[in-house]
Amino acid sequence: MLKLPGLIDPHVHVREPGATHKEDWTSATASALAGGITTILAMPNTKPPIFDEQTLTEGLTIASQKARCDYAQYLGAGPDNAAAVARLAPRAAALKMYLDSTFGELRLDDMTLWLEHFRLWPGQTPIVTHSESRSMAAALWMAQMFDKPIHIAHISLREEVLLIKEAKARGVKVTCEVCPHHLFLNFAGSYAGAQHCCAPPHPLTGGRKEVRPRLATQADVEALWANLDVIDCFATDHAPHTLAEKDGENPPPGFPGLETILPLLLTAVSESRLTLDDMIEKMVTNPRKIFKLPEQPETWLEVDENARYEIKAAEMHSRCGWTPFEGWQVKGRVTRVVLRGREAYRDGKILVEPGFGKNVRT
């Protein structure tokens, strides 16, 4: 049995308010616990988005009644809320800026709209950007101009990781995260590993392949693995949509991920593609430091390192009912989670009630 600290996921779409048929606070936090994650940072692209005092208060009220693991809520940067969100910063996980097109209404196209956010955000916590390729370079430049910490969400490209490496070497306050799907899948929707003992059965197709940032080339995937030392955090970007939505017309982009990140990474550890210390650094130590999260006393996971099994959406707690990793053979299973002294999960069962989760910003 392997004992690990409770994991932190800085990038989760809870879908409440507004789309609880995909997920809600209760199902998202059950999914987190089953995946060994004891703190989630919730994204603001809900319906309505979380972007001012009223929507933040409403969102946090629901979370306090329904969350089973600990959490904080992001604020979304909109076209005219820079002063308002800056005042609310102490209550929020961080500020999220959508600079490229994706699911939801929070996109900021005009760079003059970015300026006010970079100017006013207090900077105790980072500005987290959804920014791809050249918009990432522009965001890095603004962070540098205003001397604010920036965290780049879900990097996926070789050019992104190499630019961040250079920026870090030159003292820019930049951190970044990568998602398992950009490490384990390429643009063909196929397994992107070098030598894996149990390659998955079928590549993803159609709407099931849709995610933002898109799955990238094999060369991009390899550049991420080759530059793991540049990557600060692993994050799921858990973005649940139902199978009917994914297989329908206009499939929304996004993959669920809370229940697959740990087994995928433990499998990579068992294949010596990663060390356990790297994993803990990127899923506990670094996110805690970057997002200024408190320690969780009496909190740990128990993992059966040698358990080999097949990933099955039917066994998961997320409401969305599918996973891009269906049928993958993995090694390493979470058997028990203890959160702040309470047994929260054991052998497939969630043992804490909605409302047990605490807002780490209060």
> Of 10, 254, 257, 332, which one interacts with ligand NCD (CB under 6 A)?
254
Pure H helices in 201-293:
218-226, 243-247, 261-270, 276-280, 286-290
Report residue 284: phi and psi, to 5°. -135, -65
Q: What 3-state DSSP class applies to 191?
A: strand
Of 259 and 333, the one with the shorter C-beta distance to ligand NCD is: 259
Q: How many residues bind ligand NCD (CB under 6 A)?
A: 13
* 257 near ligand NCD, judged by CB under 6 A: no
Candidates 2-10, 69-77, 87-95, 100-108; binding stretch for ligand NCD (CB under 6 A): 100-108
* 130 near ligand NCD, judged by CB under 6 A: yes
CA distances from 318 to 70, 253, 259 (A): 17, 17, 8
Q: Which one of ligand NCD, Zn ion, none interacts with residue 9, CB within 5 to 8 A by kind? A: none
Side-chain-side CA neighbours of 149 within 13 Å: the count stands at 14
Least distance from Zn ion to the Cβ atom of residue 11, Å = 5
* 73 near ligand NCD, judged by CB under 6 A: no
Q: Are 175 and 232 in contact (CB under 8 A)?
A: yes
* 41 near ligand NCD, judged by CB under 6 A: no
CA distances from 232 to 95, 142, 224, 282, 343 (A): 18, 20, 12, 6, 29
Can you give the length of the chain in residues?
362
* 20 near ligand NCD, judged by CB under 6 A: no
Report residue 209: phi and psi, to 5°. -85, -15
Q: Which one of ligand NCD, Zn ion, none interacts with residue 103, CB within 5 to 8 A by kind? A: ligand NCD
Least distance from ligand NCD to the Cβ atom of residue 19, Å = 9
Q: What is the dihedral of CA 181, 67, 37, 23, to 10 degrees?
A: -20
* 102 near ligand NCD, judged by CB under 6 A: yes
* Cis ω for the linkage preceding 354 (within 30 of 0): no
Sorted by sequence, the CB contacts under 8 Å of residue 200 that are 6+ apart come out as: 191, 325, 326, 327, 328, 329
Of 200 and 257, the one with the shorter C-beta distance to Zn ion is: 257
* 68 near ligand NCD, judged by CB under 6 A: no
Least distance from ligand NCD to the Cβ atom of residue 186, Å = 16
> Of 13, 68, 209, 319, which one interacts with ligand NCD (CB under 6 A)?
13
In the block, residue with structure tokens 């969350």: 67
* CA distance linking residue 250 with residue 233, whole number of Å: 31
Of 76 and 357, the one with the shorter C-beta distance to ligand NCD is: 76
Q: Are 66 and 26 in contact (CB under 8 A)?
A: yes
Q: Which one of ligand NCD, Zn ion, none interacts with residue 212, CB within 5 to 8 A by kind? A: ligand NCD
* Cis ω for the linkage preceding 213 (within 30 of 0): yes
Instruction: Name the residues that contact Zn ion, by CB under 5 A.
Output: 237
* 93 near ligand NCD, judged by CB under 6 A: no
> Of 103, 114, 291, 345, which one interacts with ligand NCD (CB under 6 A)?
103
> Of 40, 93, 136, 239, which one interacts with ligand NCD (CB under 6 A)?
239
Of 105 and 315, the one with the shorter C-beta distance to ligand NCD is: 105
Of 254 and 332, the one with the shorter C-beta distance to Zn ion is: 254
Least distance from ligand NCD to the Cβ atom of residue 193, Å = 22
Element (H, E) at 140: helix 134-146
Helical axes 25-34 vs 53-66, angle rounded to 10°: 60
Q: Which one of Zn ion, ligand NCD, none interacts with residue 102, CB within 5 to 8 A by kind? A: ligand NCD
State the residues that interact with ligand NCD by CB under 6 A: 13, 45, 102-104, 130, 211-212, 237, 239, 252-254
